Structure 1
Amino acid sequence: MTIELQMLAGSIVLGLVHVLVAAGFSTAQRGLAWNAGNRDGAVPPLTGAAQRLSAASRNFFETFPFFAAAVLAVVLAGRADATTALGAQLYLWARVAYLPVYGIGIPYLRSAIWTVAIVGLVMVLAGLF
């Protein structure tokens, strides 16, 4: 299995972690009855770490489809190389770092980490050209 596909698999696991962490913090804030209920009424807004972790999760799922498509295209086209492997690693490990940094609330570091992930994604995508 290529490094790119390994990083894609790791990113899928990370996506599940995002869902579980965001859901856990949301449930802790809104309550188990709300989480288990039908949620027909108004949704109470999240605050603090729960809000930040929810935003981090949404942010991950905004970039993940592009990363997954780029990895699959590079591998299927037989264009994987050292640059695409490094790009995939940068994407995954930056996204791993992004979750706690956003959850804690460190704004400029969060943006720098996001930028590293995007650079990694572009490095993978560049393998197609």
Structure 2
Amino acid sequence: MSFTLTLLAWSTTLIAGYVLIQSLAYQLDVGVTHGAGPRDNERPLGKMAGRSRRALDNLGQTYAVFVALSLALELSGRADGLSFWGGQLYFWARWVYLPSYLIGVPYVRSLCWLVSVLGLALMFFAVVI
């Protein structure tokens, strides 16, 4: 399997990690009984549950672009060093983004986001150039 498809397959662990952390933080915040119910009367989230929810939402905003670029690289046969580093930057920056957001380290979360977007840009340029 190509590197692009391998990284795309491994990116499912990224989604799973974000969802698992968000789910655990939510359950700890609101309790298992409320979490297992229909959540009709949603209450405001605490700090960790809110941060993990926002981190998951943020990942969702870029993940579709990563998938589309990965598939475009694979189908076009244009995967090269530029796309390799772009995919790596995106993948690993998104892994660092989650704990940096949860811990609340100033500027690190924003830097991680910027690095991940740079990775997407490198993948984009590998497809179109």
Q: TM-score range by the shorter chain?
A: over 0.9
Partner of 1:20: 20
- CA-CA distance at 1:107 after TM superposition: 3.0
Contact 1:53 1:99 in 2 (8 A): yes
Between 1:50-59 and 1:4-13, the stretch displaced more is 4-13
The residue correspondences of 1:1-129 to structure 2 (distance < 5 A) are 1-41=1-41, 43-129=42-128
Contact 1:4 1:89 in 2 (8 A): no
Distance 2:9 2:117 in 1: 18
SS of alignment partner, residue 28 of structure 1: helix
Q: Alpha-carbon deviations, 1:23-75, whole Å to 9, x = none?
A: 1100110010111111122x111121221111111101110000000010011
TM-score normalised to structure 2 length? 0.95
Superposed CA RMSD in Å reads 0.9
Identity %: 39
TM-score normalised to structure 1 length? 0.95
Contact 1:91 1:119 in 2 (8 A): yes
- CA-CA distance at 1:6 after TM superposition: 1.8
Between 1:6-15 and 1:71-80, the stretch displaced more is 6-15
* Gap runs ≥5 in structure 1: none
Aligned pairs, how many?
A: 128
Letter in 2 for 1:18: Y
Distance 1:86 1:19 in 2: 26
